[in-house]
Structure 1
């Protein structure tokens, strides 16, 4: 499977969708047909029946008709893959028989990311699809806020920095239209109000503007500030570069070239100091690294935090600590095609095996722009298939990166 095959699945507005071809190109979709759903919210039946209804609703929508070819690709595959993880997350209560799929949106984004990465879908298009899948149900209930007191305006502002809100609304509308549910009209009304509020805020097609990066970072951290008014900064802490990316993605090389001489906090270095192999007593390794970071933060010194930071949960732990110490954070994400990662790792002097990296893919969440004041993406796109070479040989001499 590659990008051209996926692009060939995308129909013109109002056209028939070739679902048989979709199953042929993306075999994982076949599992959806054998996956049940809660009959209260999905009286139409299994996940594949629902998915086809969603895709058809989207392809016949005004939003899809108004979109250009690249945006249609994003919209179509967001709808096609939005429930891709329901088979893996389905839970049926043994007593009541109630069906649920907890966490299917977040897991679905990861599954879609791996699939689209391997197919060579361009980074920006891929990540927009994955971000939509992550929050595809959010417009259903965002108007009510949440237990933390989050307002619809905050939700829309944050989303506007992460994805095109109009696309999210289009997919959410299709998701609700593509089901048999007695209460769906009320939800469709809420989605439309959500869309209108985003339009009124100027957030449908572009990020909500902020007075400066610091105000934006504090706003997304929960500070009671208004985006248009710069927040006075009482204390300026360390300047910190936080690295993120797969093992063997070139983080060490980037740091050597772009931040020479700065102290580096590294889990690999912490393991070496503690005499531990990769995967052994990771809690002790993390504790050691955090202690070193706190010393530098208390002194207000600049440094680099060099780690994979693959999951949002791991990045949040690091970023929360840095922001608590008033640090200025520059988050740098690096990415390469899968074959490059495995080839590089095979040549490194490391206890981390390629099969360990493959397991790490299922924790892979690319940073979003709202996570730090500055987020940069350095991505090597996959070459077209006819230009690609086999770079997976382990025969080359091993050396440190």
Structure 2
């Protein structure tokens, strides 16, 4: 772990400027926060750095008040420092519907989360802390939407992507760290959110409990005689159906999965920048899968992997080959970078359409390792291409597939396929 973070983990309470100085090399956007304005109606305290300074102070106080352990304290404090990092990428001025010029930062939580995805590993943090920080940063505006929905599926959907207790503490710090007229009402909303989370059983054990553990227990018991992959399909699709409002119980998920007992395809979609080790992992761990590789198709159709002029033909041919495998109920992997949500959505939607078990395997190596490893690759990619992939990446969420797992131990052997949350080297999102 980075020495600065090791001290923080041990109980230190550095100021925001200390974070900028110590971590600015790995997270350069920290230095831009003092130059990033905020709308004075909602942030009378000033720029993003001024706001973050106040949020950090509140985070320390809340961590002490709630006696957080070292790991959870570290996650909360880092999230407090990084929660608005994406504003440095998204902030602009725009007219509102009344013709007034406002400062807006659309989707800054999502952009900040994705920016951090390949930079937090540079700090030597354990994978669970990286996952926790990214969950807090990416979802720190979702409490209000969840409260507005007010349903058990909405709370469980959020609970499987972030620690709700830490999320509430982060939002308390966020609200108290700004000067605005709605502070009191926003704090009241957080209390209502907490009560809702308690009512739906996703609060008291938020740190460790899977909100769908009871569903998994029922499905495992009911389908004990079937293969694990079938149980994963029933559970994964059942969760998505429940969160979409289509079913209410795990028993309904079992019933809806009956048709798949006759057989179903399995689709693995890789996600990670060039040089992350995707194709090597596929070759080593999915030897019996059909492979749809966009790189190989470009080489087949144009003679060169780097020829982007045939991308339209490549995509059409890739989709057709994927359909052939899915129709035949075979196991198939779509091997490409897929760092953009719309790109990986193409194979995933086909996997869902054909009733397949979809697994999104996410490669999250430290950023520096991508550039260090690239020159020695058989098919090296220009450094600016890797940089663009990382800068434009939209890091996946757990809701995109039946199973979403991250391979984080870049310099260690990857686990055998199929990769499931909880295995060595895999971290569930």
Does the alignment reach a TM-score above 0.5? yes
Contact 1:17 1:56 in 2 (8 A): no
Residue 238 (structure 1) aligned with residue 265 (structure 2): yes
Q: 1:220 aligns with which of 240, 245, 248?
A: 240
Q: What displacement does 1:21 show?
A: 1.4
Residue 21 (structure 1) aligned with residue 21 (structure 2): no
Contact 2:63 2:73 in 1 (8 A): no
Question: Which residue pairs with 1:280 in the alignment?
Answer: 308
Rounded to whole Å, the distance in 1 between the matches of 2:9 and 2:57 is 11
Q: What displacement does 1:339 show?
A: 4.2
Q: Any idea what the Cα deviations from partners look like across 1:79-103, whole Å, max 9, x if unmatched?
A: 1011112122111137733111112
Q: 1:125 aligns with which of 99, 124, 129?
A: 129
Structure 2 alignment gaps of length 5 or more: 220-231, 413-429
Assess, with a 3 A threshold, how the Cα gap between structure 1 residues 35 and 290 changes in structure 2: closer, same or farther. same
Q: Any idea what the Cα deviations from partners look like across 1:107-145, whole Å, max 9, x if unmatched?
A: 111222343222222222112211211111111342223
Question: Which residue pairs with 1:46 in the alignment?
Answer: 47
Q: 1:265 aligns with which of 292, 297, 300?
A: 292
Q: What displacement does 1:52 show?
A: 1.2
Residue 134 (structure 1) aligned with residue 138 (structure 2): yes
Assess, with a 3 A threshold, how the Cα gap between structure 1 residues 223 and 295 changes in structure 2: closer, same or farther. farther
Assess, with a 3 A threshold, how the Cα gap between structure 1 residues 334 and 26 changes in structure 2: closer, same or farther. closer
Residue 171 (structure 1) aligned with residue 174 (structure 2): no
Contact 1:297 1:327 in 2 (8 A): yes
Residue 380 (structure 1) aligned with residue 371 (structure 2): no
Rounded to whole Å, the distance in 2 between the matches of 1:336 and 1:87 is 24
Assess, with a 3 A threshold, how the Cα gap between structure 1 residues 296 and 32 changes in structure 2: closer, same or farther. same
Q: Secondary structure at the match of 2:361?
A: strand
Assess, with a 3 A threshold, how the Cα gap between structure 1 residues 37 and 335 changes in structure 2: closer, same or farther. closer
Q: What displacement does 1:185 show?
A: 1.6
Rounded to whole Å, the distance in 2 between the matches of 1:359 and 1:61 is 38
Rounded to whole Å, the distance in 2 between the matches of 1:217 and 1:140 is 26
Residue 303 (structure 1) aligned with residue 304 (structure 2): no
Question: Which residue pairs with 1:208 in the alignment?
Answer: 211
Contact 2:10 2:70 in 1 (8 A): no
Q: Any idea what the Cα deviations from partners look like across 1:190-241, whole Å, max 9, x if unmatched?
A: 1221122212322231221224442443432525112443422243231222
Question: Which residue pairs with 2:275 in the alignment?
Answer: 248
Q: Secondary structure at the match of 1:61?
A: helix
Contact 1:37 1:46 in 2 (8 A): yes
Structure 1 alignment gaps of length 5 or more: 146-150, 384-401
Assess, with a 3 A threshold, how the Cα gap between structure 1 residues 338 and 89 changes in structure 2: closer, same or farther. closer
More off after superposition, 356-365 vs 221-230: 221-230
Rounded to whole Å, the distance in 1 between the matches of 2:341 and 2:65 is 31
Rounded to whole Å, the distance in 1 between the matches of 2:357 and 2:395 is 20
Contact 2:140 2:170 in 1 (8 A): yes
Q: What displacement does 1:10 show?
A: 5.8
More off after superposition, 206-215 vs 286-295: 206-215
More off after superposition, 175-184 vs 55-64: 55-64
Contact 1:142 1:155 in 2 (8 A): yes
Assess, with a 3 A threshold, how the Cα gap between structure 1 residues 289 and 168 changes in structure 2: closer, same or farther. same
Rounded to whole Å, the distance in 2 between the matches of 1:313 and 1:293 is 17
Where does 1:82-97 land on structure 2 (aligned, <5 Å)? 82-93=83-94, 96-97=100-101
Q: CA RMSD in A?
A: 2.6
Question: Which residue pairs with 2:417 in the alignment?
Answer: none
What is the TM-score with the length of structure 2 in the denominator? 0.79
What is the TM-score with the length of structure 1 in the denominator? 0.84
Q: What displacement does 1:58 show?
A: 1.7
Assess, with a 3 A threshold, how the Cα gap between structure 1 residues 373 and 87 changes in structure 2: closer, same or farther. closer
Contact 1:201 1:208 in 2 (8 A): no
Rounded to whole Å, the distance in 1 between the matches of 2:41 and 2:342 is 32
Question: Which residue pairs with 2:119 in the alignment?
Answer: 115
Rounded to whole Å, the distance in 2 between the matches of 1:127 and 1:279 is 36
Rounded to whole Å, the distance in 2 between the matches of 1:250 and 1:380 is 11
Assess, with a 3 A threshold, how the Cα gap between structure 1 residues 5 and 227 changes in structure 2: closer, same or farther. farther
Assess, with a 3 A threshold, how the Cα gap between structure 1 residues 93 and 167 changes in structure 2: closer, same or farther. same
Assess, with a 3 A threshold, how the Cα gap between structure 1 residues 186 and 215 changes in structure 2: closer, same or farther. same
